[in-house]
Amino acid sequence: MSQAEVAPVRAGRSRSPLWTFGILRSELATTLRRGRTLALLGVLAAVPVLIGIAVRIQTSDGSPAGPPDGGGPAFLSQVTNNGLFLVFAALAVTLPVFLPLTVGVVAGDAIAGEASAGTLRYLLVAPAGRTRLLLTKYTATLAFCLTATLVVAVSALAVGALLFPVGEVTTISGTRIGVGEGLLRAGLIAVTVAASLIGFAALGLFISTLAGSGIAAMAATVGVLITVQILDTIPQLSGIHPYLFPHYWLSFADLLRDPVYWDEIVKNLGLQGLYAAVFGSAAWARFAAKDITA
Amino acid sequence: MTEPGAVTESLVVPRTGTAVIETRGLTKRYRGGQLAVDGLDLSVPDGSVFGFLGPNGSGKTTTIRMLMGLIAPTSGTARVLGNPMPGAARTVLPQVGTLIEGPALYAFLTGRDNLVRYDSADPTADPRTRHARVAAALDRVGLAAAAGKKAKAYSLGMKQRLGLAAALLQPRRLLVLDEPTNGLDPQGMREIRTLVRELAADGTTVFLSSHLLDEIEQVCTHAAVMARGRLITQGPVADLAAGTRGRLAVTTPDPADAARILKEHGVTGVTVDGDRVTAEPPPREVELADLSGALVHGGVRVRSFGVERASLEDAFVALTGEGFDVAG
């Protein structure tokens, strides 16, 4: 076992740096082939269908959607006039609960699920590398965030176009923009909604490095989500509200102003970045030093 | 095993000794305070089939996990293929095929896709040859026909084979197989033993942990014995068995007389079990023929007489002073 014998293995094969992304491709494919992922996406796709049908039935006698005082989910009352608003309404409905719920399942299961299945040890001796594996898991989780949001948006767009007229969009500021511009804004909103989940995804990944079983990690992640949502509604705690990750979630509506009001959107993205940095580092510190005994 | 200082300093160039695995004082104490591995000095020669033997709970798997970088040692060092672990995991592990504590599979993927997944995790694995290598590995463990089945439909033996196939995805310099014949029927066990011999003939060092003594005796050139977290002994299998003295055994219809005469000739540890009298073998200067002559002279009718060769099991019992099935 001289150095001469070790060296050819390192240098002899013409190795491509691109091969390191093989694990990401495999992770994305594996995530999408899991029955659970498809079920989650199916539920998300069904939400706009339910909203669309409900609004259609309720307004078939000509009455406006939603209570007359404009309560209920945002944008719901405009859906009958313009199917495009179903995209905004569906995202406003799913962002507080359904979307983070599915992200919590995927992020919470990321490491803990592999650990409890025993596959984690084989990935690590492959060797996937702990940092590389964690980055892969986080990237795949973010890809799921975007996919899940797009599933809601595309489903809503299809249902909205099918059940309601589609035309010029009246912005919150009262101005009117064309359908093309409206679609562009819808796409931007979907990306913003997906980006709103960045912080929570990192939190879920951190919990996943702590837990011993996938189920425990998912439950804990979703539990944290609900707790934080409740804290965000208690007025006495208003001092900490700006630091809670869901606090600015609904700021995506500001993209429908003319001109766009960026303040809270920027605050939201900044907060998500902060959560990603803090909990991403914590997840790395935990995972890099963890004894893998499962 | 002479200069402990040199080991930690030389990072890439190993000393002239050809140890594929070398540990110094390797120790693992779990957070609960339980000492799982205690000061292990293990040396696995290049090209050997090395049996790592011990009852369940003796620290074998913890040792293997430390060698593979899954667990950080509490103290001590481990070198695999000449490089320190876990520090050099990225260069060492692609050259090591591993089966640890049974196979672990993605139930919703086919056998083939499970291997593709594990191969993708290795940044040194060429994606262009991936499917050919996966097919070859499946073929080698006899799973080619079941490659398209979902892993959840696999029997325990098939899962074990798939785990082995994952260890054989690339040409390896070292195979670490933890209880590789678990869950296999006798035919499957024979196939695995044949496979291990083939791999060893190709020059791969095989590190094989087992609690089955006969398995180690059948395939291994070297062995180490662990009990309660400590290394009891290590060396060539023949030496280990030879190191244990066999038993002098006499079969006779007159066991009482035989025992008396043996004792009169200074033989110790005489025990009588039915028509079988066994004892510690006499010291070298005593000629065995004189003993048998004395027995015959004393009117003992002898059916058989001789020193029985010690098996690895005898060696283990002698070394640990306990039965083999005791969990430490």
Partners of B84 in the beta sheet?
A: B79
* Average pLDDT of the segment spanning A29-57: 93
B121–A133 C-beta distance less than 8 A: yes
Whether residue A190 contacts residue A153, with contact meaning beta carbons closer than 8 Å, is answered with: yes
pLDDT at B312 over 80: no
B71–A292 C-beta distance less than 8 A: yes
Q: Is residue B11 very low, low, confident or very high in pLDDT (cuts 50, 70, 90)?
A: very low
| Look-up of token digits 């767009």 | A157
Q: What domain range includes position A271? A: 2-288
Q: What one-character-per-residue DSSP string does A157-168 give?
A: HHHHHHHS---P
Q: Is residue B42 very low, low, confident or very high in pLDDT (cuts 50, 70, 90)?
A: very high
Contacts of B2 (CB under 8 A, 6+ apart): none
Say if strands B247-251 and B276-279 run parallel, antiparallel, or are unpaired: antiparallel
**What is the distance between the alpha carbons of residues B245 and B136, in angstroms, rounded to a whole number?**
46
Please indicate, yes or no, if residue A167 is contained in any of the structural domains: yes
**Amino acid letter, B209:** S
Please indicate, yes or no, if residue A100 is contained in any of the structural domains: yes
Q: Which residue of A has its CA nearest to B73?
A: A291
Share of chain A above pLDDT 70, in %: 91
**What is the distance between the alpha carbons of residues A110 and A112, in angstroms, rounded to a whole number?**
6
* Average pLDDT of the segment spanning B214-229: 87
Question: CA dist B276 to B255, B261, B300, B308, Å?
Answer: 7, 14, 13, 13
Q: Is residue A12 very low, low, confident or very high in pLDDT (cuts 50, 70, 90)?
A: very low
Q: Is residue A72 very low, low, confident or very high in pLDDT (cuts 50, 70, 90)?
A: low
Please indicate, yes or no, if residue A120 is contained in any of the structural domains: yes
Please indicate, yes or no, if residue A199 is contained in any of the structural domains: yes
Q: Which residues of A touch B104 (CB under 8 A)?
A: 117-119, 121-122
Whether residue A5 contacts residue B17, with contact meaning beta carbons closer than 8 Å, is answered with: no
B124–A124 C-beta distance less than 8 A: no
Mean pLDDT, chain A, rounded, equals: 88
Please indicate, yes or no, if residue A71 is contained in any of the structural domains: yes
Contacts of A282 (CB under 8 A, 6+ apart): A206
* Residue from the list B20, B70, B106 with its beta carbon closest to the beta carbon of A119: B106
Whether residue B76 contacts residue B36, with contact meaning beta carbons closer than 8 Å, is answered with: no
Please indicate, yes or no, if residue A108 is contained in any of the structural domains: yes
Question: Structural domain tally of chain A?
Answer: 1
**The pLDDT value given to residue B9:** 36
Q: Is residue B283 very low, low, confident or very high in pLDDT (cuts 50, 70, 90)?
A: confident
- Whether chain B has a CB inside 8 Å of the CB on A13: the answer is yes
B127–A22 C-beta distance less than 8 A: yes
**The pLDDT value given to residue B269:** 81
Q: Which residue of B has its CA nearest to A124?
A: B70
* Average pLDDT of the segment spanning A13-25: 82
A124–B70 C-beta distance less than 8 A: yes
B-proximal residues of A, 67-126, CB under 8 Å: 117-119, 121-126
Angle at A30 between CA A29 and CA A36, to 5 degrees: 115
**What is the distance between the alpha carbons of residues A88 and A153, in angstroms, rounded to a whole number?**
8
Residue A23 three-state SS: helix
Q: Which two tokens stand for residue B216?
A: 């180690």
* Average pLDDT of the segment spanning A78-93: 90
Q: Which residues of A touch B117 (CB under 8 A)?
A: 26, 30
Q: Is residue A6 very low, low, confident or very high in pLDDT (cuts 50, 70, 90)?
A: very low
Q: Which two tokens stand for residue A220?
A: 């804990």
**What is the distance between the alpha carbons of residues B314 and B249, in angstroms, rounded to a whole number?**
14
Residue B321 three-state SS: coil
Please indicate, yes or no, if residue A175 is contained in any of the structural domains: yes
Best mutation site among A125, A134, A290, A291 for testing chain B: the one with the most B CBs within 10 Å? A125
Q: Which two tokens stand for residue A29?
A: 């494919």
pTM of the model: 0.84
**The pLDDT value given to residue A104:** 94
User: From the CB of residue B260, how many other CB atoms can be counted at a distance below 10 Å?
Assistant: 13
pLDDT, tens only, A131-188: 999 999 999 999 999 999 999 999 999 999 999 988 888 888 888 888 899 999 999 9
Best mutation site among A5, A24, A122 for testing chain B: the one with the most B CBs within 10 Å? A122
**The pLDDT value given to residue A288:** 93
Q: Which residue of A has its CA nearest to B20?
A: A1
Please indicate, yes or no, if residue A294 is contained in any of the structural domains: no
